[in-house]
Amino acid sequence: MDFIAIIPARYASTRFPGKPLININGKTMVHNVYLQACKVFETVYVATDDERILNEVLSFGGKAVMTMKKHKSGTDRCAEAIEKIETLENKDYDVVVNVQGDEPFIKTEQLNEIKSSFKLKKTQIATLIKPINNKDDIFNPNKPKVVISNKNEAIYFSRSPIPFLRGQKDNKWVSKHLYYKHIGLYGYRKDILKEITKLYTSPLEKAESLEQLRWLENGYKIKVGFTEHESISIDTPRDIEKIRQVGLL
């Protein structure tokens, strides 16, 4: 089975323009993410919409393709990129792994967990979840929660606490039930990636602003893998100070 890791990296982030090019421990953020992905995947590309990022990737010997600026998600950017890459390389890939371009500290264990999910032939889409061990995360709308089936497939994702524990004080929820939060790393079988990026925005997706709900509403299955590693993304300049405080810089 042929895997390819694609790192979506756009320049014009609303909250942090140019963030793929910020310095993280002596290298640009996109370079750090690229190096981590290369530890697990033989083929890694950056999919960008800006020549400054393209030139940076080429300067450190990486591979990159230009994509359109219009894309609203990394999933959409990956779908355009894989078509260009397969034409460029004259090669077909089976699975596309969408590696977040703003997570320079992503663990190889997390990438390998996504990869191993596709040992099951029926896996269409794979992602990661992490147990929640504090009340704040349960009630934080910026940390989507997920409930899963006994087949380790996602049933629903929400910014609200799910499930709701009736008859329990909310400060007891974390000790009464095992909650999971979503770690936004995805793998898709290539044919499924092409299908899901042609779907119209769904009602649940609009309500929660979570693209994966569109896939669930349309009957696609999302296999979940488990990780104990935290997701550390850089979304705003303030996040740099946060990671410095925990000793990652």
Residue 69 inside a domain? The answer is: yes
Q: Which domain holds residue 75?
A: 1-106
Do residues 25 and 84 both lie within one domain? yes
- Are residues 95 and 148 both part of a single domain? no
Helix (H) or strand (E) holding 91: none
Instruction: Evaluate whether residue 131 is within a structural domain.
Output: yes
Residues 166, 85 within the same domain:
no
**DSSP assignment string, 201-213:** PPHHHHHHT-THH
Burial class (CB in 10 A: 0-12, 13-18, 19+), 91: exposed
In a shared domain, residues 129 and 30: no
Q: Looking at the domain assignment, is residue 71 inside a domain?
A: yes
Domain presence at residue 192: no
Same domain, 101 and 131: no
Query: 147-188: per-residue pLDDT in tens?
Result: 999 999 999 999 999 999 999 999 999 999 999 999 999 999
Same domain? For 1 and 101 the reply is yes
Calpha distance 129→135 (Å, rounded): 17
The count of domains in the chain is 2
For residues 65 and 33, membership in a common domain is answered with yes
Residues 91 and 177 in one domain: no
pLDDT tens digits for 41-55? Answer: 999 999 999 999 999
What pLDDT was estimated at residue 246? 63
Distance of CA 160 to the CA centre of its chain: 20
Q: For residue 237, tell me if it sits in a domain.
A: no
CATH code for the domain of 7: 3.90.550.10
Give the pLDDT of residue 218: 98
Does residue 155 form part of some domain? yes
11 and 80, same domain (yes or no)? yes
Instruction: Indicate whether this model's pTM tops 0.85.
Output: yes
Contact 177, 165 (CB under 8 A): yes
Where the chain has pLDDT below 50, the residues are none
User: Would you say residue 26 lies in a domain?
Assistant: yes
pLDDT of residue 14: 81
Query: Does 235 fall in a domain?
Result: no
Q: Are residues 82 and 46 in the same domain?
A: yes
Judgement on whether residues 139 and 165 belong to the same structural domain of the protein: yes
Q: Can you give the pLDDT at residue 241?
A: 81
Does residue 79 share a domain with residue 26?
A: yes
